[in-house]
Chain A
Amino acid sequence: MKGKYKIIIAILVVVTGISYLVFAGVKDTFVYYLTIDELITKVPEVYNDKVRVSGTVVTGSIDNNIDRSLKFKITDGDAVVDVEYQGIVPDIFADDVEAVVEGTLNEQNIFKADLLLAKCPTKYEGEDQLKNPNGYQYKKEKG
Chain B
Amino acid sequence: MKNILFILTFIAMLCATYTSLVYAPTEVVMGHIQRIFYFHMGTVWAATIAFIVVFVASIMYLVKEKRKWDIIAYSAAEIGVLFITLTIITGSIWAKPVWGTWWTWDPQLTTTFILWVLYVVYLLLRSGAGKGERAAKYSSIFAIIAFIDLPLVYISARLKRGISPVVFGPGGGGIAPEMLYTLLVSLVAFTLLFIILLKQRIKIIKMRDTLESLKYSGEK
Q: A interface vs B, CB < 8 Å?
A: 2-3, 5-7, 9-11, 13-14, 17-18, 21, 24-25, 31-33, 54, 88-93, 100, 115-130, 136, 138, 140, 142-143
The residue in chain A whose Cβ has the minimal distance to the Cβ of B157 is A122
Smallest distance from the beta carbon of B167 to chain A beta carbons, Å?
5
Known contacts A24-B105, A100-B163; A3 and B118 CB within 8 A of each other: no
Whether, in the assembled complex, B34 has its beta carbon less than 8 Å from a beta carbon of chain A, the answer is yes
Q: Which of A9, A31, A90 is close to B99, meaning CB atoms less than 8 Å apart?
A: A90
Known contacts A13-B117, A142-B29; A120 and B110 CB within 8 A of each other: no
Smallest distance from the beta carbon of B182 to chain A beta carbons, Å?
10
Q: Which of A17, A91, A126 is close to B179, meaning CB atoms less than 8 Å apart?
A: A126
Are B27 and A126 touching (Cβ within 8 A)? yes
Query: Residues of A contacting B107 with CB < 8 Å?
Result: 32
8 A-B pairs with CB atoms under 8 Å apart are: A6-B125, A9-B124, A21-B114, A88-B100, A92-B29, A117-B101, A118-B99, A123-B175
Query: Residues of A contacting B133 with CB < 8 Å?
Result: none
Whether, in the assembled complex, B127 has its beta carbon less than 8 Å from a beta carbon of chain A, the answer is yes
Smallest distance from the beta carbon of B101 to chain A beta carbons, Å?
6
Are B28 and A127 touching (Cβ within 8 A)? yes
Whether, in the assembled complex, B151 has its beta carbon less than 8 Å from a beta carbon of chain A, the answer is no
Q: How far is the CA of A2 from the CA of B130 in the complex (A)?
A: 10
Q: B interface vs A, CB < 8 Å?
A: 24-31, 33-34, 37, 97-101, 104-107, 110, 113-114, 117-118, 121, 124-125, 127-130, 135, 160-163, 165-167, 172-176, 178-179
Q: How far is the CA of A35 from the CA of B29 in the complex (A)?
A: 24
Known contacts A18-B114, A32-B161, A142-B29; A123 and B173 CB within 8 A of each other: yes
Known contacts A6-B124, A6-B128, A117-B163; A123 and B25 CB within 8 A of each other: no
Q: How far is the CA of A100 from the CA of B135 in the complex (A)?
A: 46
Smallest distance from the beta carbon of B34 to chain A beta carbons, Å?
6
Are B163 and A126 touching (Cβ within 8 A)? no
Query: Residues of A contacting B121 with CB < 8 Å?
Result: 10-11, 13-14
Smallest distance from the beta carbon of A50 to chain B beta carbons, Å?
13
Given contacts A31-B161, A123-B175, 4 further A-B contacts (CB under 8 A): A6-B125, A32-B160, A117-B104, A142-B28
Known contacts A123-B175, A126-B176, A126-B178; A118 and B34 CB within 8 A of each other: no
Are B105 and A25 touching (Cβ within 8 A)? yes
Known contacts A122-B167, A124-B173; A54 and B28 CB within 8 A of each other: no
Are B29 and A129 touching (Cβ within 8 A)? no
Q: How far is the CA of A51 from the CA of B216 in the complex (A)?
A: 62
Are A138 and B128 touching (Cβ within 8 A)? no
Are B129 and A124 touching (Cβ within 8 A)? no
Known contacts A7-B125, A32-B105, A89-B100; A121 and B165 CB within 8 A of each other: yes
Are B26 and A127 touching (Cβ within 8 A)? yes
Query: Residues of B contacting A6 with CB < 8 Å?
Result: 124-125, 127-129
Smallest distance from the beta carbon of B32 to chain A beta carbons, Å?
10
